[in-house]
Amino acid sequence: MAQSIELKASARSGVGKGAARAVRRQDRVPGVIYGDKQPAEAISLDYKELHLQYLKGGFRSTIMTVNVDGKTTRVIPRDIQFDRVRDFPIHVDFQRLGPGATIRVAVPMIFIDQDKSPGIKRGGVLNIVRREVEVICPADAIPESLTASLDGLEIGTSLHISAVTLPPGVKTAIQNRDFTIATIAGAKAEEEVKPAAGAATAEAGAAAAGGDAAKADAGKKAEAGKKAAGTKPKTVASADGPTGPSPMTEPSDRPRSPYPGCTRGNRWLPRPRACSAAPSRCVIRPRREPSGPRCSRR
């Protein structure tokens, strides 16, 4: 059973964002106590005391007694909010617990007997699916943790919640299925992948060898054809160059402007530019009707 811890708090009259900020400027943390069919009570706690208690672990599954100006109330923490940048608590919520109350709480899982698992001895790895399990139990009998044994688990097997022995009066919140809490994963899957990878490598090597042989045969045939002809292939020179049109010259099949002032008549340009010739006298049809001294053409 989780132990009970006492926290000292003081009542605060103001609620809302402005009142909460005023409390934080005094190195205190605003909070609220609700539940058990009673009105909510706004409180404030010492920042250092609350933060140290949170760092101990198991904060949300620990029964606490809050002393508000001499009046004690048994509570359990339900939520704690932290600053997004500086990571310190800025608000905490407590649920009031009445006599004989039954609550829903998350309990941590502990895995033992790892040295007795054949799968882990063979190189397997414990894959934890659920580090906490939600249970429904009396407020006076909250278990500190649930223990699961890994004895006899092989690689590829799963551990379900039915294999965990629950304390008396404790039941899981999920009742309609036997959910998984851990698995043993490891070398078995890797051994199956390695032969497949080896076969793929062999097929790729065979294909590469076949491709190299085909290239060699083609090269030999080409050399034999050259020797039989006795002449070397000639390169036909043209105005555009031996390998095609120059990037700075216009192809011969493009229309040229007869006017020397037209920039499209001097060299090939990938994009249209201003033409000094009159748009009405240019032999290249413009894309749209000219609206001024500059015209756009294809």
CA 136 to chain centre: 32
Instruction: Determine, yes or no, domain membership for 170.
Output: yes
Residue 88: C-alpha distances to residues 10, 20, 46, 50, 220 (Å): 20, 15, 13, 10, 78
- The yes-or-no verdict on residue 147 having pLDDT over 80 is yes
- The yes-or-no verdict on residue 254 having pLDDT over 70 is no
Looking at the fold, whether 44 and 77 belong to one and the same domain comes out as yes
Mean pLDDT of 73-88: 91
Instruction: Determine, yes or no, domain membership for 239.
Output: no
Instruction: Determine, yes or no, domain membership for 199.
Output: no
Looking at the fold, whether 182 and 123 belong to one and the same domain comes out as yes
pLDDT digits (tens, 9 = 90+) for 154-166: 999 999 999 999 9
Q: What is the pLDDT of residue 209?
A: 56
Q: What is the pLDDT of residue 293?
A: 57
Looking at the fold, whether 55 and 114 belong to one and the same domain comes out as no
Looking at the fold, whether 89 and 19 belong to one and the same domain comes out as yes
State the DSSP H helix or E strand holding residue 52, giving kind and residue range, or none if neither: helix 47-55
Domain boundary among 133, 162, 188: 188
- The yes-or-no verdict on residue 252 having pLDDT over 70 is no
Mean pLDDT of 184-208: 59
Band the pLDDT of 269: cuts 50, 70, 90. Answer: very low
We report the CATH number of the domain holding residue 37 as 2.40.240.10
Domain boundary among 75, 98, 121: 98
- The yes-or-no verdict on residue 235 having pLDDT over 60 is no
Instruction: Determine, yes or no, domain membership for 29.
Output: yes
Comparison of pLDDT for 194 and 174, the residue scoring more: 174
- The yes-or-no verdict on residue 237 having pLDDT over 50 is no
Domain boundary among 127, 156, 188: 188
Whether the Cβ atoms of residue 240 and residue 252 lie closer than 8 Å to each other = yes
pLDDT digits (tens, 9 = 90+) for 169-182: 999 999 999 999 99
Looking at the fold, whether 139 and 67 belong to one and the same domain comes out as no
Looking at the fold, whether 108 and 61 belong to one and the same domain comes out as no
Looking at the fold, whether 63 and 47 belong to one and the same domain comes out as yes
- The yes-or-no verdict on residue 263 having pLDDT over 90 is no
Please tell me the pTM assigned to this model.
Answer: 0.55
Looking at the fold, whether 9 and 93 belong to one and the same domain comes out as yes
Looking at the fold, whether 143 and 175 belong to one and the same domain comes out as yes
How far apart are the C-alpha atoms of 55 and 169, rounded to whole Å?
Answer: 29
We report the CATH number of the domain holding residue 134 as 2.170.120.20
pLDDT digits (tens, 9 = 90+) for 13-50: 888 889 899 999 999 999 999 998 899 999 999 999 99
Residue-range definition of the domain harbouring residue 72: 5-98
- The yes-or-no verdict on residue 233 having pLDDT over 50 is no
**What is the percent of the chain where pLDDT is above 70?**
61
Buried b (16+ CB within 10 A) or exposed e, 80-119: beeeeeeeebbebbbbbbeeeeebebebebebeeeeebeb
Looking at the fold, whether 117 and 72 belong to one and the same domain comes out as no
Instruction: Determine, yes or no, domain membership for 209.
Output: no
What's the chain's average pLDDT? 76
Of 3, 140, 138, nearest to 58 by C-alpha is 3
Count the domains in the chain.
2
- The yes-or-no verdict on residue 149 having pLDDT over 90 is yes
Looking at the fold, whether 38 and 117 belong to one and the same domain comes out as no
Residue 197: C-alpha distances to residues 114, 191, 207 (Å): 32, 10, 15
Looking at the fold, whether 22 and 65 belong to one and the same domain comes out as yes
pLDDT digits (tens, 9 = 90+) for 1-10: 455 788 999 9
Instruction: Determine, yes or no, domain membership for 222.
Output: no
The DSSP result for 199-234, as a single string, is HHHHHHHHHHHHHHHHHHHHHHHHHHHHHHH-SPPP
Instruction: Determine, yes or no, domain membership for 238.
Output: no
Q: What is the pLDDT of residue 130?
A: 94
Q: What is the pLDDT of residue 294?
A: 57
Q: What is the pLDDT of residue 195?
A: 56
Band the pLDDT of 295: cuts 50, 70, 90. Answer: low
Instruction: Determine, yes or no, domain membership for 282.
Output: no
